[in-house]
Amino acid sequence: MTKPAHSAREITADVAAGRTSAVATATAALARIAAARALNAVVTTDPERTLADAAAIDDRLRAGATMPLAGVPVIVKDNIWVGGWRVTQGSRLFADFIAPRDAVAVERLRKAGAVIVGIGATSEFASKGVTTSQLFGPTRHPLDPALTPGGSSGGPAAAVAAGLAPLAIGTDAGGSSRRPPAHVGVAGFKPSYGAIPYGPGFAEPFFGLSVIAPIATDVADIALAFEAMAGTDPRDPDAAGIAQEAEDISDLRIAFSPRLGLDVAVDDVVANGLASAIARLSAAGLGIMQRDPVWPAGATEEAIMPLQHAGLAALYGDAFRKDPTVFDPDIAKQIERGLSWSGTDVAGALIASAAIANAFAAFLTEVDLLLTPTVPCVAWPYTQAGPDMIGGRAASTRAHAVFTPFVNHARLPAISLPCGRDANGLPFGLQIIARRGQDRTLLRAARQIEAQLA
């Protein structure tokens, strides 16, 4: 795993000062992507378009423009519209789809001077915890090609970790841009719901839970990308404002929950690594209490997964009935389940989702930040949907994903930071969660925590 030679901040400073150009920076990124084809993190490139876009950035700079991301290479997940590019959702149904226009987030990145250098791999419809698809095959872990970086934003996360670009943009409907960064040793940020406009783009099957999510090697680059993309837009009825950054975070009430108040398994290396990190943060002067959220009866991921299954069935059930083999087998099973759910089943899942959101909101009146593991385990073979065992227990398919989905159902901001590694050098992460709308406070606190964990 090779991190980029320069951060997004360093690149934009050098490009703006004329020490290098956007064209030279994009050319170097394209060469890195071409040399890393075996990783299968980037599934589409368009060098001619990329270099033309980079040349336009250089022209804007010569004309006196100021751009906060001038010349920064960015990889965009394969379910976010990039106008004129092939964007497939990792699905054979969309193998030849050309996005008719940019998503608002991409439009804003371009306006800020970023250069799109590639499209990052996703699992089909961003609906699986490993990044594989029938269209493109498996994305490999940058540290071990036999392993997965997780999913569904495995391509963007692996690309950043491998040094192909300093910044990537994923989506996150249940942890998809926090767990893969945790597995590959970079940072991933899920903003508050509505902080970054989501469309225009594909219909997503998650009942509005998905958000645009930046991935980078450090919090400062994530904050730079977030500020470029955030803000309301009249085309997005769900776009919402966010609070200004807190002036002082020294009085924040911080809690640590080793298992998020759930009866879930965690590998010893992760549990011990998180405990060590909390001890280091406490020694550095952060007052951290141990406290668990209290969840309503029946609040489990199994209770809310019918939303995803039903959403997939609503969007793709007709295509499934015509030819189920066109889908990834795991996605086909989800569609089949979704077709079997009744209206009462889906309503029950919506009620469970609302109960989780209310419980989380109540808990965050008592604390300002909550620290948890991002993942309960390190990466596993890409041929499996999840590890066989976690914490000495036989693991279900979604046991690796237990700490992230409730955050989405509560519409909260959360960030994953690198926190430690196992004996084989495989990373895991620390998740930091804040109240909805407190994205800037969260990022400021994350920078302080990141510095203590470095």
Q: Whole-angstrom Cα distance, residue 176 to residue 125?
A: 12
Q: Which amino acid is at 17?
A: A
Q: Which of 7, 21, 77, 210 is catalytic?
A: 77
First to last CA, the chain: 17
Whether 423 contacts 255, CB under 8 Å: no
Indicate the length of the chain as a whole number: 454
- In whole angstroms, give the CA distance from residue 189 to residue 175: 10
Class of residue 102 by CB neighbours under 10 A (exposed 0-12, middle 13-18, buried 19+): buried
Q: In what order do the strands lie in the sheet with 187-190?
A: 42-44, 115-120, 73-77, 167-172, 211-216, 187-190, 414-421, 427-434, 369-373, 254-256, 288-290
Catalytic residue among 21, 91, 152, 353: 152
DSSP 259: T
Active-site residue among 91, 176, 210, 257? 176
CB 260 within 8 A of CB 301: no
**Residue 152 annotated in active site:** yes
Token reading at 413: 């901001």
- Judge whether 210 counts as a catalytic residue: no
Supply the DSSP symbol for 192: P
- Please state, in angstroms and rounded to a whole number, the distance separating the CA atoms of residues 20 and 115: 14
CA nearest neighbour of 226 among 276, 192, 182, 257: 192
Catalytic amino acids?
77, 152, 176
